[in-house]
């Protein structure tokens, strides 16, 4: 089953939805880190939510979801980068947690994070960066995000998220604002009640079209072309070189007095980048030049 997101709409109503399936993407994320099962499950749900919300908001830019807390885990983060005709929408995720904590496989988000909040950041290619914050006032990520939409977007929105050992997935329903073409005032109540029957294993194992048929075979649904999803990290040697330069020449030279090289690592994908003393000197002397290659 290829990872993708499936948009759909109920004909003659103001109700729309999406289904996301992430098997390879989720596998790529967890393969790079030794996460406990409880962390993997919550991170999988966050990945699915990031995929769904990027399409929902129709963002041409980067969307990130950060869950910050003071519990056994202090950070869960998922980031979505937009796709185009040539490449899939890409996602990556990372977690920070107490490696000595006893984290149960079925731990709730509230118990895992403790007191905290969720930060949604929208960074469009063109336009201003936006951040929205919502408290961790629900045991589930879906409940917290539904609260966010009711507060900020004022659009009725429901989410169903799931993650297992090998896959993550989600279903989103939302009403369109001020849609005068709706001929079915009961569509929202009916579609959400039917969605409430969905099981986690269905979100994780069924193709989106099969899932939609099981839930809504008596409804008139318009299904759009699916859009691919994949794992993708935006780290690069050039980005790490720029980060090193931001430290300033003095600090870089002081660092090289005690170390012969600087080694860095991407927290998302665990890719390592090595900068020798000669590399650092090249960066200092040629700040606008391309990043030096590995020596």
Tens of pLDDT, residue by residue over 138-158, are 999 999 999 988 887 678 899
Tens of pLDDT, residue by residue over 25-49, are 999 999 999 999 999 999 999 999 9
For the chain, report the end-to-end CA distance as a whole number of angstroms: 41
Query: Taking 60 as the threshold, does the pLDDT of residue 192 lie above it?
Result: yes
Predicted pLDDT of residue 86 = 66
Predicted pLDDT of residue 245 = 86
Query: Taking 60 as the threshold, does the pLDDT of residue 1 lie above it?
Result: no
What is the full DSSP assignment across 43-106?
A: HHHHHHHHHHHHHHHT-SEEEEEEEEESSSEEEEEEEEE---SSS-EEEEEEEEE-TTS---TT
Spatial distance between the Cα atoms of 160 and 253, rounded to a whole number of angstroms:
52
Selected residue with higher pLDDT from 63 and 125:
63
Tens of pLDDT, residue by residue over 109-147, are 999 999 999 999 999 888 889 999 988 989 999 999 999
Q: 24-33, 225-234, 254-263 — which is least confidently predicted?
A: 254-263
Report the pLDDT averaged over residues 254-264. 85
Report the pLDDT averaged over residues 241-266. 86
Pairing of strands 116-124, 89-97: unpaired
Predicted pLDDT of residue 37 = 95
Report the pLDDT averaged over residues 269-279. 87
Query: Taking 90 as the threshold, does the pLDDT of residue 65 lie above it?
Result: yes
Distances in Å between the Cα of 158 and the Cα atoms of 17, 32, 39, 184 are 9, 31, 23, 19
Spatial distance between the Cα atoms of 15 and 272, rounded to a whole number of angstroms:
46
Predicted pLDDT of residue 295 = 39
Spatial distance between the Cα atoms of 63 and 82, rounded to a whole number of angstroms:
9
């Amino acid at each position: 089953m290829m990872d993708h997101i499936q948009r759909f709409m109920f004909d003659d109503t103001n109700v729309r939805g999406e289904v996301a399936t992430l098997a390879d993407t989720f596998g790529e994320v967890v393969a790079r880190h030794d996460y406990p099962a409880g962390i993997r499950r919550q991170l999988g749900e966050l990945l699915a939510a990031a995929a769904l919300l990027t399409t929902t908001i129709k963002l041409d830019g980067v969307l990130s979801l950060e869950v910050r807390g003071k519990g056994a885990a202090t950070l869960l983060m998922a980031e979505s980068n937009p796709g185009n005709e040539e490449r899939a929408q890409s996602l990556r995720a990372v977690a920070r947690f107490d490696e000595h904590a006893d984290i149960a496989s079925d731990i709730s988000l509230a118990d895992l994070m403790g007191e905290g909040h969720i930060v949604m950041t929208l960074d469009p290619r063109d336009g201003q960066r936006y951040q929205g914050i919502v408290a961790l006032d629900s045991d589930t990520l879906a409940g917290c995000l539904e609260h966010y939409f009711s507060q900020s977007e004022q659009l009725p929105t429901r989410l169903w998220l799931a993650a297992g050992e090998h896959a993550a997935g989600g279903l989103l329903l939302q009403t369109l604002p001020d849609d005068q073409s709706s001929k079915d005032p009961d569509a929202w109540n009916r579609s959400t009640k039917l969605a409430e029957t969905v099981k986690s294993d269905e979100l994780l194992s069924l193709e989106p079209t099969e899932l939609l048929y099981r839930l809504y075979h008596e409804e008139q649904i318009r299904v759009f072309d699916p859009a691919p999803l994949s794992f993708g990290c935006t780290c690069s040697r050039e980005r790490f070189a720029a980060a090193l330069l931001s430290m300033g020449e003095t600090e870089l030279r002081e660092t090289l007095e005690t170390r012969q090289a600087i080694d860095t690592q991407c927290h998302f994908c665990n890719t390592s980048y090595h900068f020798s003393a000669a590399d650092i000197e090249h960066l200092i002397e040629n700040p606008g030049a391309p990043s030096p290659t590995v020596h």
